[in-house]
Amino acid sequence: MTVEKKAVAKKPAPLQKPRAAKVAAKKKPTWDIGDIDTWGPDRHELGATIIEAGNSVFNETGGWRSEVPLIDSEKCDGCMLCYFYCPDASIIIENNKAVGIDLEHCKGCGICAKECPTDAIVMKTDEKE
Amino acid sequence: MATTESEILAVTGNEAVAEAMGQIDPDVVCAYPITPATEIVQIYAQMVADGKVGTEFVTVESEHSAMSAVIGASAGGARTMTATSSQGFALMWEVLYVAASYRLPIVMTTVNRALSGPINIHCDHSDTMGGRDTGWIQLYGENHQEAYDNCIQAVRIAEHMDIRTPTMQMYDGYVISGAIGPLQMLTKEQVQKFIGPYHAINPMLDTKHPVTVGPFDGLHGWFFEHKVSQNRAMERALTVIQDVADEYAELSGRQYGLLDPYRLDDAEVAIVVVGSTAGTTRMVVDKLRAQGVKAGMVRVRAFRPFPHAAYAKALEHVKVVGVMDRADSFGAQGGPVFLEVRAALYDSDPRPQILPIIYGLGGRDIFPDNIEQAFAVLQKAAQSTKPTSTERRYLNLRKD
């Protein structure tokens, strides 16, 4: 059994408002699926097609995460690899440094931590309330 | 009003369908050759090469790819068609479900051929009968003319806004596909007017309205609702298939229905049959009628959706019905058509006896004598005071 490495990152910088949240605040969904949980068979688009591009900004999709990246911005050298590799566009960059994670969309895949050349990102068990 | 005064051509079934496809002139055809459907694709490729159609013809490396490519093209916004048979159909299997669940109005001709093994290239219906639950509409044709007519109607059915469901049309391998038969064609202009321009729903190539096709439906998503939606479309397809057939009858003078009854009104014994064997069965019915036997027949045209209420209405006055399947469902009570017909008549009162008959597997010949033997079983059952065994009867099977 391997002992889980303790995350030693300092307290991360206070989370900025995620990019997705900013976008969501600016635009409104044109495809209203607010009550989709109640939709019966006849209300859906044929073939489950998603007819509004980028509508994940309106929806929290990170709920199934079991690990969460922890960023030490002081170690970050601004190479942007985490930003480019992230499949969910969840890395928050400010002043050319990774400063936080959009936790509404991060699924905890760990690619950012794997790619980070300066070990500025470590994965930690996501302890949910 | 029949508007056609065209000459009668002598063609193979595959030629008839290739001509229909040429007149439909779809945007994209993706296909892979397989006996006995190869000729369709071969002729069509020639039409493309000769500039007779505007189709983008995609040669693919397998039928799995053929179906995947037409799915892509259809999702992109194109009118698409393909053709296959037997093992090729089987290789398409998993993507057939995808085409149907994405509600892409693809039209496919499947020339019926046995599935291996032992390896066999001849006609039976085991390929498409096995695909009856893929969510595709299934039309079974009887002869060359119907292969052509069904191909054109399938476009209208699949693309109908009430249903948007891919449609496959079948006919018997070799018996129809390779043998010469008569064909009366419409003009290309008539066909184009009948099918109309293609209307895509949420096409991927509409870059101003980007969409995601085929998303993961989540762990607690709407998969169940989408399946029910497919089935509701199938129920509506009963009306659509008949409406399209009626409109086609005005154009061509040839009337089709969901099923094709023959001398059934006062029949005491009747056979239900799919495909080219209906022609032989009609002849036997006439012969028996001349002998005073009240014999009748129903030919299956639409098998998915299965018009169960129409079958109940057509057959409930008959004493004994024999259902002839050219495919078996191993371990079931009978072949696929038998199971449908028997279920359709369960609520009828009085309820006919319904007996399973298997014939023609792997292209085994079916002679008029064999069909007379089947009718003899039905007549004996009709005269008996005791219920007749519902074990399968096999026609033209070698005895142990």
pTM: 0.90
As a whole number of Å, the end-to-end CA separation of chain B is 55
A6 belongs to a structural domain: no
Quick one: average pLDDT of B180-188?
Answer: 97
Under 8 Å CB-to-CB from B389, ≥6 apart: which residues? none
Distance from CA of A115 to the nearest CA of B (A): 26
What confidence tens digit (pLDDT) does each residue in B7-28 have? 999 999 999 999 999 999 999 9
| Residues of chain B contacting A46 with CB distance shorter than 8 Å | 102-103, 164, 201-202, 229
A86 belongs to a structural domain: yes
CB contact under 8 A, A44 and B212: no
d(CA B133, CA B116): 20
| Residues of chain B contacting A50 with CB distance shorter than 8 Å | 211-212, 215
CA B152 to chain centre: 13
A96 belongs to a structural domain: yes
Residue closest to B71 by CA, chosen among B28, B9, B130: B28
Percent of chain B at pLDDT above 70?
A: 98
Other beta carbons within 10 angstroms of residue A8's beta carbon come to 8
d(CA B146, CA B154): 11
What confidence tens digit (pLDDT) does each residue in B322-378 have? 999 999 999 999 999 999 999 999 999 999 999 999 999 999 999 999 999 999 999
B28-31: strand order across its sheet? B56-59, B28-31, B80-85, B107-112, B167-172, B137-140, B302-304
CB contact under 8 A, B103 and A47: yes
CATH code, A106: 3.30.70.20
Opening angle at CA B84, ends B121 and B244, nearest 5: 125
* pLDDT: which is higher, B139 or B220: B139
Residue ranges in chain A whose pLDDT is less than 70: 1-25, 128-129
Burial class (CB in 10 A: 0-12, 13-18, 19+), A2: exposed
Quick one: average pLDDT of B87-98?
Answer: 98
A14 belongs to a structural domain: no
- Domains present along chain B, CATH in parentheses: 8-252 (3.40.50.970), 259-394 (3.40.50.920)
d(CA B358, CA B281): 14
ipTM tops 0.90: no
In terms of residue numbers, what domain contains A111?
Answer: 19-125
What confidence tens digit (pLDDT) does each residue in B27-70 have? 999 999 999 999 999 999 999 999 999 999 999 999 999 999 99
Torsion angle defined by CA atoms of residues B85, B88, B93 and B98, in that order, rounded to the nearest 10 degrees:
-90
A43 belongs to a structural domain: yes
A47 belongs to a structural domain: yes
- List C-alpha distances in Å: A59 to A32, A54, A90: 12, 10, 13
Q: How many domains does chain A have?
A: 1
A78 belongs to a structural domain: yes
